[in-house]
Structure 1
Amino acid sequence: KSSLANEYDRLEMVELAIKDYPNLRASNIEFTLPKPSYTIDTLIHLNEKFPEHDFALIMGSDNLDGISKWKNADILMRDYQFYVYPRPGYSQEENYDNVEIVEAPLMEISSTFIRNAIKDGKNIKPMLPPKVWEYLDGSNLYG
């Protein structure tokens, strides 16, 4: 947790990254929910506030491997669609009806990798959307 930027900086980077994708929306809903923040609580809140929408989770297969340890994992797996990005070294099998492994190239990149690379002074510009790179380059978030 100490290696993460504050929630407002992270939200800004998400908004910059999805700016050109009209079907995606960033949300600050977790800013108002009790801490610690649990995915199931966020989804229940979103469903209550926006019942006309369906919500899904997007995650790497590394997170899917540990989903059984999440709060109310059984409800998450029963009630929500998962879109899973393949990660090297993790299962790429669809073990659940509502899990779709997206067809994407296997890349050894993660948010932790990006944060560590910035900290180590490596060039990560090619790995980020240009606006996110500009935001990070003009800050000292992970340096």
Structure 2
Amino acid sequence: MKIGLYFGSFNPIHIGHLVIANHIAEYSDLDQVWFVVTPHNPFKKKSSLLDNYQRLEMVYRATKEYPKLKPSDIEFSLPQPSYTINTLTYLQEKHPDYEFALIMGEDNLKGFHKWKNYQLILENHDIYVYPRISENKVVTQFNGHKKIHTVDAPIMQLSSTFIRNAIKAGKNVKPMLPEYVWEYLDEMNFYR
């Protein structure tokens, strides 16, 4: 079984995340996509994050009707901050029969050479890159690499930051969120 790992804070998960993950699950050689909820990204400030389990709950609610999409709390039990290489090593030990790949936005490829043990990741794992809106094509040292696959997924111009700010401003964001996520946010009064 080949699993694509889609890392993120998912604060909150929105329809853009689902569209991209579902597209990759349906139009690539991946059998499933796991949404890996990251407790704390070394490159992000922690203060604006909802609790780990609240974000995991949103991912669970968003994916429950999609058999190829799964929530994952694998990083909750790993040392912080989470580094992708450590997560991949741990998952490979826990699931030796699975093959794990990474899913990332095109813009993340620019800084990929700064990731801890990025060469090791590239040696052992495929990377599926989805497009992001940008003025010019992203050119990196990884262009043309045999382990990097560009996915022709729809371009989604939607961000969790935009949604949080819109909620704070009293805007209706219901169409941007999976129904169960919207209900949970509304019920819990998140981001207001």
TM-score range, shorter chain: 0.7 to 0.9
1:104 to 123, 146, 153: 153
2:103–2:130 contact (8 Å) kept in structure 1: yes
Range with bigger deviation, 2-11 or 69-78: 69-78
1:61–1:86 contact (8 Å) kept in structure 2: yes
Range with bigger deviation, 104-113 or 39-48: 104-113
Tell me which protein shows more strand as a share of its residues.
Answer: 2
Instruction: Name the % identity.
Output: 57
1:83–1:99 contact (8 Å) kept in structure 2: yes
1:29 to 74, 78, 86: 74
Distance 1:118 1:81, change over 3 A: farther
3-state SS of the aligned residue for 1:26? Answer: strand
Distance 1:53 1:114, change over 3 A: same
Q: Distance in 2 between matches of 1:92 and 1:59?
A: 13
1:60–1:84 contact (8 Å) kept in structure 2: yes
Normalising by structure 1, report the TM-score: 0.87
Counterpart in the other structure of 1:39: 84
Matched to 1:139, the amino acid is M
3-state SS of the aligned residue for 1:138? Answer: helix
2:61–2:181 contact (8 Å) kept in structure 1: yes
Counterpart in the other structure of 1:126: 175
Task: Note the alpha carbon deviations across 1:52-83, whole angstroms, 9 max, x for none.
Answer: 11112222222222211211111122221222
Range with bigger deviation, 1-10 or 101-110: 101-110
Task: Note the alpha carbon deviations across 1:18-44, whole angstroms, 9 max, x for none.
Answer: 112212322212111111111111111
1:86–1:92 contact (8 Å) kept in structure 2: no
Shift of 1:16: 1.3
Q: Distance in 2 between matches of 1:70 and 1:81?
A: 15
Shift of 1:92: 5.5
- How many residues are matched? 143
Normalising by structure 2, report the TM-score: 0.67
2:107–2:138 contact (8 Å) kept in structure 1: no
3-state SS of the aligned residue for 2:184? Answer: helix
1:17 counterpart = 2:66: no
